[in-house]
Each structure stands twice: as C-alpha cells, then as structure tokens.
Structure 1
Amino acid sequence: MVRIDTIENLPESKIMESTSGKILIVDDDPIQRRLLQEAVTKFGYRAKLAENGAEAVKIMTGPEGADIDLIILDMVMPELDGIGALTQMRAQKVGTPVIVQTAHGGIDAVVSAMNAGAQDFVVKPVGPERLNVSIRNLLKTSALADEITRFRKQASGTLTFADIITHSPAMERVINLGKRAASSNIPILIEGESGVGKEMIASAIQGSSERRSKPLVTVNCGAIPENLVESILFGHEKGAFTGAVDKHVGKFQEAHGGTLFLDEVGELPSDVQVKLLRALQEGEIDPIGARRPVKVDFRLISATNRRLIDQVKEGVFREDLYYRLNVFPIWIPPLRDRLEDIPSLTRHFLARFAAEEGKPQVSGVSPDAMALLQAYHWPGNIRQLENTVFRAVVLCDGPSLTVDDFPQVASAVDTPSATPSRSYDSRPVETSAAAHRPAPQEQQEPVRRQAAPQPQTAVPSGFELSAPFGFMRNLDNDGHIRKLVDVEEEIIRAAINHYSGRMTEVAKRLGIGRSTLYRKLKEYGLEEHIGKDAAA
C-alpha cells in the first residue's frame, strides 16, 4: 500500500522553502525593499534582500546564487549602481534574469540596462500587476532557455552535472559521486526506480569525463526482442544467420572510444551476460559470424530499476557479472524523497509544454497547486511529474496552473492513507483518478452483512462480493481457499491490464522471466497478448 502524504502532514517550513522561485531584491531604499518583498511574497515567491550592488554581486557569485531565480535590481545606488552590478555579474557568467527598476524612464537608461544584460525594465512606482507579469514571463523564458540548452547538450554529449535541475541534498550526494566517477573509467551501476533520471546522470558522467567528445550510446536492454539482443549489442557479419543480408556494427563498436549506457541491464538473457562479461574482462567482443574477436575501447555505465543482487540470488543474473558491473554503485533517490526539486522541475516542464502547445499565457504555478504537487507521492517519479504538468498545461485556460488543473493529483492527495492504493500506475489518467476514489458504502457493506443475523442455511454473502481495488480475493464463493492456478491467472491478467500490455514490465513486476511469462500466457489462453511487447 502506498503512503500518500496530505498537505497538512508536510512541515510548513518545507512547503514554504520550496513551493516557489526565489527573487533577489536589490535596493538601497529600505522602504522600497520592504514594499517589493511584500509584493513578491504575495505573488507566491520567496524573497532575499540586498542593500546595494556590491552585496548583490557577492550573493550571486557565491554558493547562494544557485538558489536565486530572478533579480529585481535598482539602477541608482551608492558604491556600485545597478549597471555596474549587472556588468560584473554578466562578466562572471551569472545568467540569472534581471528586471531593472528606476525612477527615471528615459530611453538612454533603457538602452544602457539592456546592453548590460537586463531582460526587462520597469519605472518606479511599478504597479503590482505589471511586476507580476514581468516576473512570470522572465521565469518562464529562463526555464525554456535552460531546457533548450539541456537538450542540445545531451544530444551532443556535453551535458554536465551543472545542467541537472536539483536543490535536494540527496541529489547533491548523487552528483558528488557522479563527479568522482567521471574522472576515471571505472564501471558504474546506477540504481533507482523508473523515472528518477538515471539516463540524465549517465549523460552527465559522460559529459564530465575525458570521453565527452566521443559518442554516448544508449541501449534499453528491456526493449530489445530476446532473439535480437546479441546481434544489436555485438553486431554480426553478412550471412551469419538467416536474414543477415548485410554486415551490422553492434552498439559496443558504435561506442568505441566513448561510453556505452546499458539501461535495464537486468533484462539481458543469460547467454548475452556471458559475452558482456568477456567484453568487460578482455576489452574485446565476438560479433556473430566473425572469424576473430574485435577490440573495443568503451566506458560502461549500467542502470537498473531492480535490485540486481536479488536477481543474482534468484539465479537469473550471473554473480560474476554483477560484481563486474557493481564496482561503483550510485543510487538515485525517488522524487518523493526530494520534494525540494519539484518546483524547479515543474517550472521547466511548464515552460517547455506551454511553448509546444502554443499557450504562452500559461507562465506560472499557483502556490496552492505547487503545495499540492509536493504533497503527492509520485510513484512514477520525474517522468510522471512531466506527464502530469503536460496534461495540466493542456487543461489550463488561465495565466497560471491551479489546483483545478491537477484533478488526479488532488483526488489522490485527498484520499485517506488507509485507502487501498497502487505502487505504480501506467494506465490513462482517467482510470487512475477513478481508482483513487474510495467507495465507502461498498467497502463497508461486508462488515454490515457479517454483523447482521444470518439464516443458518445461507452462504455468507461476503464471499460473493468483489474485492476492493488493489486487493485479491483468497476465498471462493463457497468460502474455500481458491486454487493456486486461479489466483495466478488472475494476477497475470491484472498485471497485463495494469501495465497496458507491456509484457517486459509485466514480467519484471511479477518477478519472472519473459519466457516463463509467455509460457503461462499460453497455459491460461492469453496468447493474444504475446507480441504486444513493442512498447515495453
């Protein structure tokens, strides 16, 4: 059963610390600083104050600068004025967006501020609505620019740990480990639930290593048909088998000089595990049909959302290969353990999807909506958050995402923790929302019927009732324990439905191999599901 925290259960300090962006207010006038602080706080942001330009430069070039999302900078200040502070920050590669404010709105002042690197300009006294629109638009534009930069870097193999969005101490430990691993060629095993960002960490390790100018080749081992795994990884010669009309270069050779990232490495068949072990030990591979082995120079990063040591104990993964892969383990915590990352991730996803969907007016998230997102358990982690924000942007008709744009999350958070729940849901969101809504009368009916007097000849009607969502009946209609084959067939059917026919995921969650699953599908007359594994 999944624990779903309510907003009331979260510490108020944690919500306030992470539900919104942080704005640096730089002004030598204490009254003006206080007025701006009250305004941005009312808009739902956090504020930090600086009395002059020198103090602002010190903040932005220090460790605290990473937490600042936007700067409101006064033009006229003693010691170091706004233009001077802005020039120094830009010279030191501080790219945080800046709104410059002044009591004099001449065209020369505007041109000077923009040339120095400001993104917007307001004249004192600025109206609250004008300031709020400017803040929202700049935060959105900045997030979209960061997303574009991140995509380009990932595609070119130059993504670094500085490009990863996080404010979480737990993720800082992950990044520190990744930086250490990047400085060597040590084999790395990244573990963590689905959707936590394992591929992003692998890309950052590659982009921070000496191999950053070389290719990063990614292989999802769970999505390759079992009969093609060896050919795709190691390659084959022309005529090596029926259908091999041309020579094929495998992923190991594609990654020569660079990095090979094997995602879901626990899904590799046993015969391929042997060849992978040899590739690691000898630095050479045997393409199918080749007369001699081929030398390869690669750095291996593996990832899995299952505990490989458990698979070793079950006999489905080679123990010697496990110890070759697990030289430098890195565990990525789930999103529910790093709620500090949700605001930044949400803003970045919002900026991207608002641009993709042609909704430039959607430029922010209300504080209540952000607090709701942080109160949810996120079993699907960052990938689920991304899809949730996507749907919210499509639903949104106003300038900001509100609680009404997240009906499934609101329904799940409002559900008491005692209500049966799932550990993961990959079905459409409409089904998910219905599943989270409890049916008190139906769930309490068995209790009332058992308490009421029953005729001695009557069969207890509770045996005839369907189990609540997420539970299975262990008694048949006559009150006897159900047969094991019936229970097994039911749970396989439930898993197929629960994971939308993705058979690799079904086998993984059931803890059995794909060949075993296919055999059981035939035994229970479920052959129509065989072959629907393309989306796995």
Structure 2
Amino acid sequence: MSSTILIVDDDPIQRRLLDSMMSRLGYGTRVCEGGEQALALLTGPEADTIDLVILDLVMPNLDGMGVLSRLRQAGKAVPVIVQTAHGSIETVINAMRAGAADFVVKPVGAERLAVSIKNALRTEALEDEIRRINRHVQGTLTFKDLVTRSPEMARVIRLGERAAKSNIPVLLEGESGVGKELLARAIQGSSERRGRPFVTVNCGAIPDNLVESILFGHEKGAFTGATERHVGKFVEANGGTLFLDEVGDLPLDAQVKLLRAIQEGEVDPVGGRKTVKVDVRLISATNANLIEAVKQGRFREDLFYRLNVFPITIPPLRARREDVVDLARRFMARFAAEEGKRLRGLSAEAAALLASYPWPGNVRQLENTVFRAVVLCDGDELTLDEFPQIAAQVDGFEVRMPPAPPPIVPASVYSMPPTQPQPPRLVDDYAAHGAAFAAAPQPPIELRDPSRIALLDENGDVRTLAALEEEAIRFALGHYRSHMTEMARKLGIGRSTLYRKLKELGLDDSDEQAENAAA
C-alpha cells in the first residue's frame, strides 16, 4: 500500500492539480478544503492513515500556521510540507520553527515536490525507528510503536492492550518471523511492569541437559562444570516479564518444573536446598500447533492449559499486505543510516512489487531483503533493480538484470592442436561483426584448464606415454617461455635430454634461438 498524502488548500484548482500530481507519483490522497477540516482529520481516529500533509499557509479562518500550532499542541508528529505563493524568508523561518518539514513556493514542479516528499517520509521513518529502538532498549515499547494499517493486526493490538492490563499468561501463536517478540515487548511496555526486566529464552536453542539449569538456576558444584552459582532466567526476570520463545520445544521433564513454577510462583535451583520465590509475568510464543503436540504426547496437557489462558494469533505478513510498504520504508531508513547512504525512499514500482509478494519468511524476510537492497543500491531510491529475486517470483514485474559482458575465453582454447577447428575469438569478432555475430549459431566451446592433460584420446582409449610426454613438453615450453634450464629442472631431466627431445619434436631451432636470446 502506498503512502497517503493529505492535501489542504482552499483553492479547488490547486487541490485538483496536487491530487493529479500525487496520483502520477504513486501516492494515495485525501483532500481537505480548510484548516479546521484538516485538523479534525489529523487528530481523529483516522489520523494514523495519513503519512504526510501538503498544507497551504494562506487560508480563511484557520490558516496553515494555525494548523501547525494546533498539531504541535496535540503532540502529532506527522510531517508537513507547507506551500504558499509568497515565499519570503520570514515566512519560511516561521513555518519551519512551527514544525514544517519543508517549504515550497507555488506553483511547484512535480520533480521538486517529489524530492521534498521522499525526504520528509525518509526523515520521519528514521525518527520513528530511532524512537522505537530507544523504547525497545528501555523496555517501554508500546503498541503505538507497532507499524500497521491492517484490520487483522488492529484486532491483535486490541487483544494485546487488554492483556497488558493484567498479569494473565499470554500465548502468542504465529509463523516464524511475524514479530511475536515485538508484540510481547509491547505488552510489557503498556503494562505496570514497563521499564522492568524483559528476559527472553529461546527454548528451542537450549540443550536438553541444560534447560533446567538455565531456567531455574543452579548452585555451585551442583553438577560437573558448575563452577559458580547461576540464578536462572526466572530469577533474572523477577518483577518483570519472562518471554519463552518456541515453548513447544521444551523437553517433557522441564515442562513438569515449568508447570510448578507457574502455579506456585517459585523455582527450585538445581542443587539448591530451598525454593526461591519469583514474581514473573509469563508470555509464551510458538510457531507450532501445541494442541497437536498434546495429542502426540510431546507437550503436557496441563501445561498447555496454564499457558494458553490468553491466546493471541498474529497473522502472517501476506495476510496484512497493507503493512509491507511502511515496514520496508522504516527498514530502509534504518539500514541506509547504518550504511551511510542517502536514500530518499522506494520507487512506486518497487513498493507495488513488495506489496504483491507473499513473503513466506514474513517480517524477518522483508527486513533482510531490504537490507540487501540498501547495500546494493547506487542511486537515491530503491527500485526494481534492487529486488531481482523478488521480481522473478511475481507476475507482471520484469526482472531487470545488468547485461553480462561478452565471455572471455582462456588462451588455452586458442592453442588447440592444428587438427581441431579453431573457435572464433569472441572478443575481437564481437567487436568486428556486432549483432550479426551474436545472432549466428556458435559452435560449443569447452573451457579447459591449461594445466590439465587429457589421458584419453578421441576414441576413448588411453593415450600413449610418448603423446603425453610431448604435450607436457609443449606446455612447459610456453609456460617457462623457452627457458631451457628452468624447463629441465622442473621436468626432472637433464638439459641434454631436453634438447634431444625438442629436436625429435621439431622444436629445437626456435628453442635454441630463444635460449640464446635469453642468455
């Protein structure tokens, strides 16, 4: 889904011109005739659907400066590009101080406005990512930091907000890469435990013999290798939240102790003499069907009902395509900043491509795909050229790969025995004959390692020792540039023997002259 731009202007002709211009640039639009109407939209329930505002400064009743002032008072951070027919320096300074992202003078060209929009969206996306990362580190991430326009995700967020109001155990279900940990952090950041420890345990990555020690801790000397005391993840998360990722991978014996820890609020460290009381909010996550695991005896039924008190199913990215472009833009802003590249945004074609792809790896795959595209990009925006693997799998999008250079054939191919047909010299002939050469059928070319000697002849029989020796001498002659001393030493024969063999092969005259020249 493309970005939505709100056009605020009292001039109907100007509104139509901007509306048409935004449509050609690939953006969605909303239109308001005045400042009051725009302010009601930007502070109402539909405010999150607006990505950017193009605001006229001179309007009756509530003018552009008044809208900027009201937006700042309401704490709205939507980027605003102001425009007016009178672009004095004082007006520009006042508008920028009031919170405008950019300033343009009427009539503005499409190219100038497109650059301004991309810069504003990129800056806003980067600022959002920075705020989200800071809250992530501080444990204060909230549901407002989750990027979504999807009704399915809106339902998930409503459930998460209700779960955050209590300490009820939550089970997050969904495919790998949909963002279960991010939702878990938002639940904590919106609860009374915000800012307290958030401890993550990947249950599928713990060896079976260490699960109990890692979760519940151990005393020094409790087992071989226990050289010091370890408190365990439950104690680390005391007062905060414990997030058990891939909880379905826990072994059965650890599931028994986990059940007791949840029910009693206390853990038994390995080798410990007394239990330890803990106050932990438990959030679990799985990408497996736990009910099926219970039926197969791989997961305890009583533990399942203790974890599955408040289940939340997160839809895959293909079920919420409205979020793809927003996510991609935020990933692009972050990675561009990390890589030191000045990228303004996504092209309309690239945005349409990303929104059309099913994303089997979900948000994690999208993030890595955008990372690769940012590294490969040489321009000022991401285009189809940076997503060739994705374009190849989506109908209606042309895979634009850079043309491969003409093949360079090793010199050994041109040194074939005279009895074999010589292949054309591709580089020279291509330059000489152009398209006619490319269209003509070419004989197959076998690229050979110049240091390899064939042991079989054309009939498939083993070649004679004399033939192999001759080929070895011919190769050494070219490889060592007719330097007789070096050739004899490397071949393991005396110089006199080498001269004799060269004479038998009819190579002695040229070689003697070369040797004398080298001497």
TM-score (norm 1): 0.73
Aligned residue identity for 2:81 = I
Write the mapping of 1:176-191 to structure 2, written as runs, cut at 5 A. Answer: 176-191=158-173
Q: Which of residues 6, 10, 13 in structure 2 aligns to 1:31?
A: 13
Q: Aligned pair 1:40/2:22, yes or no?
A: yes
Give per-residue Cα distances to partners, 1:120-179, cap 9 Å, x unaligned.
111112222111111001101100110111111111111111110000001111111111
Deviation at 1:346, TM superposition (A): 1.1
Residue in 1 that maps onto 2:407: none
Residue in 2 that maps onto 1:218: 200
Residue in 2 that maps onto 1:278: 260
Give per-residue Cα distances to partners, 1:66-109, cap 9 Å, x unaligned.
11111111111100010011100110011001111111221211
Secondary structure in 1 aligned to 2:132?
helix
Deviation at 1:415, TM superposition (A): 10
Asked if the contact 1:157/1:213 (under 8 Å) is kept, the reply is yes
Aligned residue identity for 1:121 = F
Deviation at 1:400, TM superposition (A): 2.2
Q: Which of residues 383, 387, 391 in structure 1 aligns to 2:372?
A: 391
Q: Are the structure 2 counterparts of residues 392 and 159 from structure 1 closer, same or farther at C-alpha, using a change threshold of 3 Å?
A: same
Distance 1:123 1:340 in 2: 33
Q: Aligned pair 1:108/2:75, yes or no?
A: no
Q: Aligned pair 1:368/2:349, yes or no?
A: yes
Distance 2:32 2:247 in 1: 50
Number of residue pairs matched? 397
Asked if the contact 1:188/1:326 (under 8 Å) is kept, the reply is yes
Asked if the contact 1:191/1:303 (under 8 Å) is kept, the reply is yes
Q: Which of residues 160, 163, 171 in structure 1 aligns to 2:145?
A: 163
Asked if the contact 1:189/1:326 (under 8 Å) is kept, the reply is yes
Gaps of 5+ in 1: 1-17, 417-536
Secondary structure in 2 aligned to 1:354?
helix
Q: Are the structure 2 counterparts of residues 125 and 415 from structure 1 closer, same or farther at C-alpha, using a change threshold of 3 Å?
A: closer
Deviation at 1:222, TM superposition (A): 1.1
Q: Which of residues 297, 301, 311 in structure 1 aligns to 2:293?
A: 311
Q: Which of residues 284, 293, 297 in structure 2 aligns to 1:302?
A: 284
Asked if the contact 1:350/1:363 (under 8 Å) is kept, the reply is no
Distance 2:3 2:273 in 1: 61
- With 183-192 and 396-405 compared, the bigger mean Cα shift is at 396-405
Distance 1:129 1:225 in 2: 58
Deviation at 1:110, TM superposition (A): 1.3
Secondary structure in 1 aligned to 2:393?
helix
Q: Aligned pair 1:248/2:236, yes or no?
A: no
Residue in 1 that maps onto 2:304: 322
Aligned residue identity for 2:375 = V
Q: Which of residues 377, 384, 400 in structure 2 aligns to 1:403?
A: 384
Distance 1:237 1:380 in 2: 41
Q: Which of residues 222, 234, 240 in structure 2 aligns to 1:258?
A: 240
Query: Root-mean-square deviation (CA), in Å?
Result: 1.3
Write the mapping of 1:83-94 to structure 2, written as runs, cut at 5 A. Answer: 83-94=65-76
Asked if the contact 1:240/1:289 (under 8 Å) is kept, the reply is yes
Residue in 2 that maps onto 1:209: 191
- Could you say which structure has the larger radius of gyration? 2
Give per-residue Cα distances to partners, 1:412-458, cap 9 Å, x unaligned.
22499xxxxxxxxxxxxxxxxxxxxxxxxxxxxxxxxxxxxxxxxxx
Q: Percent identity?
A: 68
Write the mapping of 1:17-96 to structure 2, written as runs, cut at 5 A. Answer: 18=1, 20-96=2-78
Residue in 2 that maps onto 1:140: 122
Give per-residue Cα distances to partners, 1:389-418, cap 9 Å, x unaligned.
1111222222222222111111122499xx
Distance 2:57 2:171 in 1: 51
Distance 1:212 1:355 in 2: 29
Residue in 2 that maps onto 1:287: 269
Secondary structure in 2 aligned to 1:369?
helix
Distance 1:276 1:415 in 2: 51
Distance 1:411 1:192 in 2: 27
Deviation at 1:215, TM superposition (A): 1.1
Residue in 2 that maps onto 1:455: none
Distance 1:297 1:124 in 2: 62
Distance 1:130 1:376 in 2: 31
Q: Are the structure 2 counterparts of residues 295 and 368 from structure 1 closer, same or farther at C-alpha, using a change threshold of 3 Å?
A: same
TM-score (norm 2): 0.75
Distance 1:170 1:181 in 2: 17
Gaps of 5+ in 2: 398-519
Distance 2:28 2:334 in 1: 23
Residue in 2 that maps onto 1:490: none
- The higher relative CO (CA closer than 8 Å, separation ≥ 6) is in 1
Q: Aligned pair 1:130/2:112, yes or no?
A: yes
Secondary structure in 1 aligned to 2:147?
coil
Aligned residue identity for 2:292 = D
Secondary structure in 1 aligned to 2:254?
helix
Distance 1:309 1:155 in 2: 34
